[in-house]
Amino acid sequence: MKKIKEILSLVLLFVSISITAFSQRERLYDVNADGMQQFKTAVEQAAKEHKNVMIQIGGNWCSWCYKFHDFYKNDAVLDSMIKANYVVIRVNYDKSLKNEELFAQLGYPQRFGFPVIVICDAEGRRLHTQNSWYLEDGKGSYDRKKFVAFLKNWTVKAINPESYR
């Protein structure tokens, strides 16, 4: 009986520490933000800066959303590639805020699971929807080479027909 109490105490301690750590972590997604307004603002900024828009869709409940965000934010090369070519927004999806109008306009990207990445041009047209599963390395993280190729393939320059002449 003493062993069971010790094990239960350790489990409760672990759960308590995990909950505390998670609750103190930066929230990636603003659960009160209007996704359509976020999108309109990003499109305006992209037009001014001659960039495309990269939308990361997910929720604060999504561990893979945090892994994805940490993956590119903690890599100086990836982060600078993104900043040079994209205006990035993170749009929330959860029971209380599904951003249905925006997601309908984007072709229902949530069907791919989370996180899902949508690339739009500076006029707000959807260019590509990326199921993030294809960017994984099969070992519980993301593959840097796959992500670099993805980023390069959807820049303003890469999709400009003049670059193929």
Alpha-carbon Rg of the chain, whole angstroms?
19
At 105, which CATH number? 3.40.30.10
* Rounded (10°) CA dihedral 80, 81, 87, 93: -100
Neighbours of 58 (CB within 10 A): 26
Q: What is the pLDDT of residue 4?
A: 63
Residue 85 resides in a domain? yes
CA proximity to 83, closest of 115, 114, 57, 46: 46
As for how many domains the chain has, the answer is: 1
Residue 136 resides in a domain? yes
Residue 5 resides in a domain? no
Residue 3 resides in a domain? no
Domain extent at residue 63: 26-160
Q: What is the pLDDT of residue 98?
A: 87
Residue 2 resides in a domain? no
Q: What is the pLDDT along the chain (165 residues), one digit of tens a residue?
A: 666 656 655 555 454 444 434 444 689 999 999 999 999 999 999 999 999 999 999 999 999 999 999 999 999 999 999 999 999 999 999 988 889 999 999 999 999 999 999 999 999 999 999 999 999 999 999 999 999 999 999 999 999 999 887
